[in-house]
Structure 1
Amino acid sequence: MNSRDLVAVPLFAALIVALGVMPPIPLGFLPVPITLQTLGVMLAGAMLGPWRGALAPVLVVLLVILGLPVLSGGRGGLGVLAGPTAGFLIGWIPGALVTGLLARPVLRRGGQDWRVLLGLLLACTLGGILVVYALGIAWLALVGGVGLGAAALGSLAFLPGDLIKAVIAAGATRAVQRVYPLV
C-alpha cells in the first residue's frame, strides 16, 4: 500500500461511519433498520476499486469487533456480529469488492457520460445491493428465525432507498472521475 491508500481506505471507512450518524429507521417487521451506510460501501468500491474499496468496510467491521459504536444507532461490539444484521454488515466487504470489480472497467473505458453513469449504476446495484442482500438475507433467515422467502420479501422494503443510494454513488463517482482520475 502506498501513502494514497493509507489515506483513502481510512477516509472511506470514516465516511461509512459518518453516514451512520443518521439514526436508523426501524421497519418493525424486520430486525434490520434502514441506514445510509451502504452508500459509503458503494462509494468505496466504485471510487477506490475492488481491493482498497473492500478494505474500508473491513476496517469498519474491525472497529465494530473492538466495540466502538460506529454503526447506525451507536451500535458496536461482538454482539452485533451474532445478531440478525450481521449478514448485511459482513456483506459490505464483498459488496464493495464486487462494486469495484465492475466499476473499474467502466471507468477505464470512459466514453459518453450516460454510458459511464449507467455502467457505474449497474456496478453499484450488483455489488452494493445484490451482493449485500444475498449475504444479509441468508444470515437473517439463519439467525433471525425468519424463513428465507420471508427474509427476502421483507428486504424488498430496502430496495427503493438502496436504488437511490446507487444513483447517488454512480453520480458522485462520475463527478469525481471527471476532475480526479480514479483509474
Structure 2
Amino acid sequence: MNNKNIKAKLSAKELSMIAIFTAITAVFAQIAIPIPFTPVPISFGLVAVYMSAILLKPKHAVYSQICYLALGGLGVPVFGGFRGGLGALFGPTGGYLLVYPIMAWIVSMALNSSKSRQAEFSQSKTIVFIKSAIAICIAHIILYLGGTAWLSITTGNSFYASLTIAVFPFIPMDIIKILFCIFAIVPIRSRLIATNLLMLGNKQADFSK
C-alpha cells in the first residue's frame, strides 16, 4: 500500500470523526432544560464540546464545532430546542454558541497537541487531570465572558445584569458538567490511547522495547 492510499484513509477517518462529533454535539444540545427567568437554558451541548476537545486533535475538535455552527446557521435544527437559522446563531444567546470552537481548541491544545502517541501515553494521570481541569475552566470562563458580552450587547442590559440571568444561576450545574468531563471522559481518553483506538499523535509509539 502506497503512502497516498494511507493518507487518503487517514483523511477519511478524520473526516468521519469530525462528522461524528458534530452529530454528537447536535444530539447533546437537545438535552436542554429551560429556565423561566432567563433566555439561556441549561444545555448539555457543552459536554459534547468538551468531549470533542478531549478525544480529537485540536484542529479536528475545532472543525467539528465549526461544522455544528455552520449547520445551525444554515437552518438545520441542531441548536437547543431544535432551533436553527441565523436568528438562533446570532440572537441574544448566540454568543454562548459562537465560542464553541475556541473552547474546543483550548482544551484540545492542552491535552492533545503532542506529536507522538508515546508523548501522550507517558503523561501521568495526575498531570492529565490537572491539565484538563485547568483548560476546561479557562474555556468555561471564555464561555461566560464571550456569551455574556454578546447577550449584553444584543439586549442592551448591563454586563452585570446579563451575568445575573445567564451565568450565576448555571454555575452549580456547570461545575457538575465540568467534573463529569474530567472524571469520566478524560479516563476514557487514556484507555483509548492505551489500546490504540485513539491516535492523537502523528506517529505510533513502539512499547515493545
Q: Does TM, scored on the shorter chain, surpass 0.5?
A: yes
Three-state SS of the structure 2 residue aligned to 1:27 is coil
Partner AA of 1:15 in structure 2: I
* Stretch deviating more after TM superposition (104-113 or 154-163): 104-113
Which position in structure 2 is the counterpart of 1:93?
101
Q: Please report the TM-score for the alignment, with normalisation by the length of structure 2.
A: 0.78
Which position in structure 2 is the counterpart of 1:117?
129
Q: How many percent of aligned residue pairs carry the same amino acid?
A: 26
- RMSD over aligned CA atoms reads 2.0
Three-state SS of the structure 2 residue aligned to 1:19 is helix
Cα distance in 2 between the residues matched to 1:44 and 1:36: 13
Matches within 5 A, 1:24-103: 24-103=32-111
Larger-gyration structure (1/2)? 2
Cα distance in 2 between the residues matched to 1:49 and 1:162: 24
Which position in structure 1 is the counterpart of 2:4?
none
Are residues 1:159 and 2:171 paired?
yes
Aligned residues: 181
Structure 1 residue 122 displacement after superposition: 1.8
Q: Please report the TM-score for the alignment, with normalisation by the length of structure 1.
A: 0.88
Contact 2:52–2:104 under 8 Å retained in 1? yes
Cα distance in 2 between the residues matched to 1:86 and 1:21: 15
Contact 1:116–1:174 under 8 Å retained in 2? no
Moved over 6 A (4+): none
- What are structure 1's unaligned runs of at least 5 residues? none
Cα distance in 2 between the residues matched to 1:3 and 1:18: 22
